[in-house]
Structure 1
Amino acid sequence: MTETNILVEAEPTQPIQSQWRDVWLQFRSHPGAMIGMGFFLTVSLLVTVGPWVWTLDPAAPDILSRNQGPSWAHPMGTDQLGRDTFAAMLQGGRVSLLVGVTAMFLALVLGTLVGVLAGYFKRLDGFLMRLTDLFLALPLLPLLLVIIMLWRDTLRAWLGPEMGVFLLIVFVIGITSWMQTARIVRGDVLALKEQEFIMAARSIGTTPRRMINRHILPNVVSPIMVSATLGIANAIITESALSFLGLGFPSDYPTWGKLLNDAVNFVQIHPERVLWPGAAISLTVLSVNYIGDGLRDALDPRIRGR
C-alpha cells in the first residue's frame, strides 16, 4: 500500500449537505417561523378536513337555537338564525385560504413575468416600470369596489353566484397585487445580469429564452417565495375587507369577513361572535407573515449559517 493510498484512506468523509437542507436548518432556527408554520398548517388542515368531520350545515337555520353561547353541541355558539358558528368558521376559512392562495399565484405570475422582462430587456424596462408605477398610484380599495360593482352581477349570472364571485375576487386581487413582486424581481435580475456566469453564457450565444429559464429564474426563487407568503396575507385581508363591506360572496355563503360583519350588530350582547372570525383573520395573517420572515432569513446567503 502506497503512502498516497494511506493518506486517502485516513481522510474522514464529510457528509454532503444540500443547499435546501441548509435553508431548512436556518428556517427551523427561527422560532416565530416555526410557530407560524405550525399554526397555518393546523388551520389549513381544519378547514380542509373539518367539514367532513363536523357535518352540520353552516347555512341551515334553527330558530329554536338562535343566539346561543358556546356549548358541546355548538362549540362557538350560534348566530341570530340558529346557524352553527363553528361550521361557518370552517367553511369561511376554506374560502378565505383558497382565495388567498389562488390570488397570490396570479399576482406572483404577473409580477415575476413583468420583473424578469423589465430587468432583462432594456427596451421594455421603461414601459413596464411606468406601468408598474401607474398601478401603484391607483387607489386600490375604490378600484376594487368599482370593478366588483360593475362585473359582479354579470359573472353571477354567467358562472353561478359562488364561482362567479370567487373568480372575480381572485382576478381583482391578483391584478392589483403584482407590483411589489415585479419591482423586487427586476432589481435582482439587473444584479444578476452583471454576474460572470451570465456574461459567459451570453458570450457563447445562449438565447434569451434559455438564459431566463436556466440561469435567471432559478436565481430569483428566494424573493419570489418570500413575496408569495406576503401575497397570501394581503389577499386574505383584502377578501375579508370586501366581504365585511358586503361586496364579496352571497349573504348565505359564509366567509370570515362576512361572519365578522354579521357579528358587529350583536357585539354588545355576544362579543365572542366578533372574536372568532377576527382572531382567525389576524392570527392567520400573522402566521403567514412570520413564515415570510423565516423564509427571508433562510434564503439569504448572508444570514444563513450565522
Structure 2
Amino acid sequence: MATARDEITKDMFEPADLEADKKEKITRESLSYWQDVYRRLKKNKGAVAGLFVILAIVAMAYIGPYFSPAETIDDQELIRSNLPPKVSWLSDVSWLPFTGVNTDGIDMYEARNVEENYWFGADKLGRDLWIRVWEGTKVSLFIGLVAGVGDIIIGVIYGGISGYFGGRVDDVMERIIEILIGIPQLVLVILLIVVLEPGLTAIIFAIMFTGWISQARIVRGQTLQLKTQEFTLAARALGAKHSRIIRKHIVPNTVGMIIITMMFSIPSAIFAEAFLSFIGLGVPAPQASLGALINEGYKQIQFHPYQALFPGVLISLLLLAFNIFGDGLRDAMDPKMRK
C-alpha cells in the first residue's frame, strides 16, 4: 500500500523566489514620533510659509532697529514731523507709498532739506516709525510669548489635577471655571489694569488671568481620556504613584496638544494686548507696541494714513502666520484632526 511519503517526489518542489522574498523586507527607515511630525509638517506648504513669516518678523524685530537713521526709539526732531515714507530705490514707483511725497504732491524731504530716508516715515513728534514699529513688535512678541506660556503652565496644572483626580475635586474646580467664564473677560481685564500699575507686568497678568481657562478645559478632557487607557490602569495596578503616572504617562501624551494650544495662545495674547493698547490701556508712553502704534496712527489716519498702515499690516501678518502655522502643526501632530 502506497503511503503519502512514497507519493512525494523531488520534482514536486520548486526553488524559492529570492526576489519575492526581498520585496517583503521593510526598507523604510524607522522614524520617531517627532521625526514623523517634522516629515508631515514639511509637506504642508502653508505651515512652512507661516513659520517663515514668523521667523522673519522675529529676526527683523531685533535687527531692524539698527538700520534706522535715528539713534533711539525716542529720538525726535520736529523738522521730521509727519514725514511720509521714502525709500530711494523705490521712489520712482508712484503707486507705492515710499516716494516721500505728501497728499498735496510735495516732496517733503526736499522741502525740509532732510537728507536721510525714513522708510516708514515719522510721527507727529518727528520720531522714526521704522525703529518704533520694530521695537513695538518686540514688545508685542514678548507679551504674547510670556502670556501664552503662562496660560499653558496654569492651564496644564489646573486641568491636569481636575481631570486626573476627578470626583469632588473635579466638581469644585469646574464650578470655579464656570464662574470665571460667566464674567465678561474684557471687564475683568480692564478692571485689573485699572487697579494695577500700568506697565508690561499688569498687561501680562491681566491677559493671563482668564486666558488659561480654555487650556485647562482642553487638558482636563485629554486627562480624563488618558487615565482610563490600559497603560495607565496597568501602571496603577503595579503600584505606581500618582506623580509617576502623571510624569511618565499623562504629560507625555498631552505634549502635542499643549504645543498646539500654545501656538494659538500666543496670537490671542498679542491681539489682546493690541486691543488694550488701542483703547488706551496698553503699554504706557514712551514705550511702543503694535497696538499703541495703531492707536497713534488712527488719530492721524485722515491726513497721514501710513502711520497706521505699517503696524496694522505687520500685526495682521503676525496673527495670520501664527494661525496658519498652528493649523499645520495640529495636522502634523494628529492627522486624525484633519477630519
Task: Using CA pairs under 8 Å that are at least 6 residues apart, name the structure with larger relative contact order, 1 or 2.
Answer: 1
Q: What amino acid sits opposite 1:100 in the alignment? A: G
Q: After superposition, what is the alpha-carbon deviation per residue over 1:6-29, rounded to whole angstroms, capped at 9, x for unaligned?
A: 99x965654111211111121122
Q: What amino acid sits opposite 2:82 in the alignment? A: N
Q: Which of 294, 302, 306 is the equivalent residue of 2:328?
A: 294
Q: After superposition, what is the alpha-carbon deviation per residue over 1:75-94, rounded to whole angstroms, capped at 9, x for unaligned?
A: 01011111100100011000
In the TM superposition, 1:43-82 aligns within 5 A as 43-54=57-68, 56=70, 57-72=72-87, 73-82=117-126
Alignment correspondent of 2:288 = 254
Question: How many residue pairs align between the two structures?
Answer: 290
Does the 8 A contact of 1:119 with 1:190 survive in 2?
yes
Alignment correspondent of 2:197 = 152
Alignment correspondent of 1:3 = none
C-alpha distance in structure 2 between counterparts of 1:295 and 1:201, whole Å: 30
Alignment correspondent of 2:182 = 137
What's the offset of the Cα at 1:183? Answer: 0.8
What's the offset of the Cα at 1:173? Answer: 0.7
Q: Which of 76, 93, 97 is the equivalent residue of 2:141?
A: 97
What's the offset of the Cα at 1:299? Answer: 0.9
- Taking structure 1 as reference, are residues 12 and 213 closer, same or farther at Cα in structure 2, changes over 3 Å only? closer
Greater Cα offset, 204-213 or 17-26? 17-26
Q: What amino acid sits opposite 2:272 in the alignment? A: T
C-alpha distance in structure 2 between counterparts of 1:267 and 1:95, whole Å: 23
* Percent identity for Structure 1 against Structure 2: 35
Unpaired segments of 5 or more residues in structure 1? 1-5, 154-164
Q: What amino acid sits opposite 2:283 in the alignment? A: F
Does the 8 A contact of 1:106 with 1:175 survive in 2?
no
Q: After superposition, what is the alpha-carbon deviation per residue over 1:235-279, rounded to whole angstroms, capped at 9, x for unaligned?
A: 001111111111122221111111111111211111122111111
> Are positions 1:172 and 2:216 aligned together?
no
> Are positions 1:30 and 2:44 aligned together?
yes
C-alpha distance in structure 2 between counterparts of 1:48 and 1:124, whole Å: 46
RMSD between superposed Cα atoms in Å? 2.1
Alignment correspondent of 1:186 = 220
C-alpha distance in structure 1 between counterparts of 2:197 and 2:242, whole Å: 41
SS of match in other structure, 2:270: helix
Pick the structure with more helix per residue.
1
Q: What amino acid sits opposite 1:197 in the alignment? A: F
SS of match in other structure, 1:173: helix
What's the offset of the Cα at 1:301? Answer: 4.5
Alignment correspondent of 2:319 = 285
C-alpha distance in structure 2 between counterparts of 1:141 and 1:48, whole Å: 31
What's the offset of the Cα at 1:49? Answer: 2.4
- Taking structure 1 as reference, are residues 128 and 303 closer, same or farther at Cα in structure 2, changes over 3 Å only? closer
C-alpha distance in structure 1 between counterparts of 2:176 and 2:314, whole Å: 35
Higher alpha-carbon Rg: 2
C-alpha distance in structure 1 between counterparts of 2:28 and 2:312, whole Å: 51
C-alpha distance in structure 1 between counterparts of 2:302 and 2:173, whole Å: 50
Does the 8 A contact of 2:77 with 2:125 survive in 1?
yes
Q: What amino acid sits opposite 1:119 in the alignment? A: G
Unpaired segments of 5 or more residues in structure 2? 1-17, 88-116
C-alpha distance in structure 2 between counterparts of 1:16 and 1:91, whole Å: 45
